[in-house]
């Protein structure tokens, strides 16, 4: 899906400000909307997204761009570190989004997507004490603490730690996701699939977590595995 809103005429803004954003909204109305008017009209009164996409708030991760989906397809939940608190521990926005997506919107897939160079995972990995400066972030990241313990126990080389944290956090958040009653119920009925991804920003590639083998695999490997499973 080409992103016409980033047209060249906007490139001149040195420090993008609110006017820059308004200009973008104006360009969207004038240049992008008319091309997809039928789609937007069909979406005006209802949505039927097929997938709940949970990812990091990081500005470099663009769910619709990396999945090549259009408005109306993804129900998106973003937060620092693509975290899903285990059910019952922190019943807040994420839990409500999960419940609503599964029970009201009947999504058929949930993807938890982490990414390379994640600031949240870097912070956790470094063990930096942010409790005083950012107590809310600190409290939130406790939901990924088990991933840190697992990675630290492995005694990895320094440069591999952040990526290992990113991957381990996906495993952990998938486990947390399954503690949500709505998710557990639909999984038991075979009406929902969940999958963990890691998006590599610099390479433009997605890798997929294979839960049976407990490892990340390339997109091609994941596709073959899923096609084989479907054929059975």
The residue ranges that bind Zn ion (CB under 5 A) are 56, 58, 118
Return d(Cα 39, Cα 57) in angstroms, integer: 26
Nearer to Zn ion, 165 or 183 (CB): 165
- 2: helix, strand or coil: coil
- 24: helix, strand or coil: helix
In angstroms, give the least distance from the CB of 76 to Zn ion. 14
In angstroms, give the least distance from the CB of 164 to Zn ion. 15
Nearer to Zn ion, 26 or 145 (CB): 145
Return d(Cα 207, Cα 210) in angstroms, integer: 10
Q: Which runs of consecutive H residues, i.e. helices, occur in 2-144? A: 18-27, 37-43, 63-67, 93-99, 119-126, 135-141
In angstroms, give the least distance from the CB of 82 to Zn ion. 7
Nearer to Zn ion, 78 or 225 (CB): 78
In angstroms, give the least distance from the CB of 143 to Zn ion. 14
Q: What is the DSSP letter of 87?
A: T
Nearer to Zn ion, 80 or 208 (CB): 80
């Amino acid at each position: 899906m080409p992103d016409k809103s980033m047209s060249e005429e906007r490139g001149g803004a040195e420090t993008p400000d609110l006017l820059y954003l308004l200009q973008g909204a104006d360009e969207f109305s004038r240049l992008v909307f008319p091309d997809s008017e039928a789609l937007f009209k069909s979406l005006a009164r209802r949505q039927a997204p097929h997938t709940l996409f949970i990812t990091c708030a990081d500005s470099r991760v663009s769910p619709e761009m990396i999945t090549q989906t259009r408005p109306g397809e993804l129900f998106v939940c973003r937060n620092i570190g693509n975290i899903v608190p285990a059910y019952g521990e922190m019943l807040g926005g994420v839990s409500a989004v999960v419940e609503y997506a599964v029970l009201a919107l009947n999504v058929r897939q949930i993807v938890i997507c982490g990414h390379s160079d994640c600031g949240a995972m870097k912070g956790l990995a470094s063990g930096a004490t942010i409790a005083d400066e950012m107590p809310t972030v600190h409290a939130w990241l406790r939901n990924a603490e088990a991933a840190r313990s697992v990675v630290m126990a492995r005694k990895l080389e320094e440069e591999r730690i952040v990526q290992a944290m990113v991957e381990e956090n996906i495993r952990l958040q998938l486990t947390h996701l399954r503690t949500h009653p709505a998710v557990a119920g639909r999984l038991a009925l075979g009406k929902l699939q969940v999958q963990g991804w890691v998006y590599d920003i610099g390479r433009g590639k997605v890798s997929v977590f294979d839960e049976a083998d407990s490892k990340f695999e390339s997109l091609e490997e994941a596709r073959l595995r899923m096609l084989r499973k479907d054929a059975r």
